Amino acid sequence: MAVLRLILADQLSDTLATLRDADRQRDWLVFCEVASEASYVNHHKKKIALLFSAMRHFAQHLRDAGWQVHYSDYADPRNSGSLAGEVARLLAELNCDSVVVTEPGEYRLLAEMQQWQQQLQVPVTLLEDDRFLASGADFAAWAAGRKQLRMEFFYREMRRRYQILLDGDQPVGGAWNFDSDNRKPAPADLAVAAPLRFSADATTKQVLVLVAEQFADHPGQLEPFHFAVTREQALQVLDYFIDHSLVLFGDYQDAMVEGEPWLFHSHISFYLNCGLLLPLECIDAAERAYRNGRAPLNAVEGFIRQILGWREYVRGIYWLQMPDYKAANFFDAQRPLPALYWGGATKMNCLAQCVSETLDNAYAHHIQRLMVLGNFALLAGIAPAEVNDWYLAVYADAYEWVELPNVTGMVLFADGGVVASKPYAAGGAYISRMSNYCKKCHYRVKQRDGEQACPFNYLYWDFLARHRQQLDNNPRLGMIYRSYDKMSADKQQLIATDAASFLQRLEAGEAV
């Protein structure tokens, strides 16, 4: 009999393990748009549209290649609304007697699928997702016996394993990491190339109508919609980045500019994370640009580190640490997520800019996510579960395997230091140095206390004071705590008073 081969929304690759050893004439490739996956958090409208359109295009690509494909449309009245329900229904309708699926990228879904064989009473085969460059076993072997799981050392091993940016056995340029060269603020006259945009074809237009009707209560702006939805388009995005933006990506990857959400970033995480692009082809394209003299080493190394280092590392952390990792809350943060994250009024221009761009584009670059949106959540003591749900919902490249370690580990230090060696906390000076947001802000970034003071300034010191017992022995914070201790008692009390007043107003729903 036939095999039902389920393909998930983030598995849109011809190299997918599910397709290997399949019989084109006998087996069925199955795609499902289901409510349970679209709404377990209120995903951004653009995120749902991207995945539904990309799924439909990939399904048609497979039909054109001679495969038997069944596609469960969201609006089909027969649609059961869940993956398990659709698989159960289609086993009978398609006359299949077994199920094959590549392991999903989320623990909750893997746990569900591991029960399918018993529930469905048919053989269910879960295949390893080998589109990544480090398997779970690879990462566990690297992590075994280490006191600290620092990405930098994992990244070096991956460079050696895949022979990336090496001269013999040494790193090109004499160093493994050029991050210190990648922290320039953007000059006022910096010219930024517009991102590559695509017009919606008939398939995408149908999806946009569906999303507008079925997900009207989900956050974010649906249109204009300009994402790539096919592999061919995703490859164009990669090529466009290499040709137009990579040369300046390194210098300005940490910069933030009001009205310029895209800057020199690649914008390929959408397509890497749903399968339209593969990591090694992106890495190879960047290395070729360096070898051919088309891009500087600091830009190329920084880009490659994000994929070969950070992306593989956070996936390894996720599977190594789950399921307990999801409940991590090192600082016992309990404050509810403020309305400003959903577009509520705020007087803080940096937050207003980053939130509005997120809701408009289902995108913000990594410094906006970490040092503005995340920094505020950390300093304000917002509950990690609510912060994680927000990041997972609003970004079109977010899946739990990549989102959770970034937020729990990097943004919130909620894992107590598994990912980061210290909390990524900062006052207003950092945001002022790396952006032009402060120029139009209600608050004064150089003012330390009082009603006009930038809230990041007193929240930063208040955060350190509140959590001194947990952080006092951190060697990277010793100098900072010595600076705090040099403050007068009156100054320390003023910090605590300003912070308490601000947080009280935040919880009361005032526009802070």
Residue 50 lies in a domain: yes
User: Are residues 435 and 491 located together in one domain of the fold?
Assistant: yes
Residue 303 has pLDDT above 90, yes or no: yes
> Do 461 and 379 belong to one domain?
yes
Q: What is the domain extent for residue 478?
A: 339-507
Please give the Cα distance from 222 to 25 (Å, whole number). 38
Mean pLDDT of 204-212: 98
Lowest mean pLDDT among 93-102, 180-189, 302-311: 180-189
My answer on whether 175 and 266 are in the same domain is yes
Based on the fold, state whether residues 316 and 377 are members of the same structural domain: no
SS3 335: strand
Question: Is 57 within a domain?
Answer: yes
Predicted confidence (pLDDT) per residue in 262-301, tens digit: 999 999 999 999 999 999 999 999 999 999 999 999 999 9
Last residue of a domain, one of 74, 97, 127: 127
Is the separation of the CB atoms in 42 and 220 below 8 Å? no
89-to-29, 117, 133, 476 alpha-carbon distances in Å:
14, 14, 35, 56
Reported confidence tier of residue 1, pLDDT bands at 50, 70, 90: confident
Within this chain, do residues 394 and 448 fall inside the same structural domain, yes or no? yes
Contact partners, residue 423, CB within 8 Å, separation at least 6: 378, 413, 463, 471
Task: Mark which of 75, 98, 127 sits at the end of a domain.
Answer: 127
pLDDT of 183 higher than 90:
no
Whether residue 225 lies inside any domain: the answer is no
Q: What is the mean predicted confidence (pLDDT) over 372-400?
A: 98
Which among 72, 103, 127 is the end of a domain?
Answer: 127
Distance separating alpha carbons of residues 58 and 477, to the nearest angstrom: 49
Asked if residue 272 and residue 180 are part of one domain, the reply reads yes
> Cis ω on the peptide bond leading into residue 187 (within 30° of 0)?
no
Comparing C-alpha atoms, which of 161, 130, 153, 146 is closest to residue 315?
130
182 pLDDT higher than 90: no
Whether residue 455 lies inside any domain: the answer is yes
Q: What percent of the chain lies above the pLDDT cut of 90?
A: 96
Same domain, 272 and 408: no
| 421 and 480, same domain (yes or no) | yes
Token duo for residue 122: 């048919």
Q: How far apart are CA 110 and CA 19, in angstroms?
A: 19
Same domain, yes or no: 290 and 420: no
The whole-chain average pLDDT of the chain stands at 96
Q: Which two tokens stand for residue 362?
A: 């289902």
**Residue 396 DSSP class:** T
Whether residues 302 and 352 fall in one domain? no
* Average confidence (pLDDT) over 202-218: 98
| Domain identity same for 39 and 155 | no
**pLDDT tens digit sequence for 113-136:** 999 999 999 999 999 999 999 999
The answer to whether residues 5 and 29 touch, using CB atoms and an 8 Å cutoff, is yes
pLDDT value at residue 181: 81
Number of domains in the chain: 3
Q: How confident is the model at residue 193 (pLDDT cuts 50, 70, 90)?
A: confident
d(CA 143, CA 154): 9
DSSP-assigned states of every residue in 252-299: HTT-B-TT-SSTT----HHHHHHTSS-HHHHHHHHHHHHHTTSS-HHH
**Local confidence band at 71 (pLDDT 50, 70, 90 cut-offs):** very high
CATH of the domain at 490: 1.10.579.10
Distance CA 243, CA 470 (A): 47
pLDDT for residue 180: 84
Mean pLDDT score, 33-48: 96
User: What is the rounded CA–CA span in Å between residue 480 and residue 70?
Assistant: 59
Say if residue 312 is in the same domain as residue 343: no
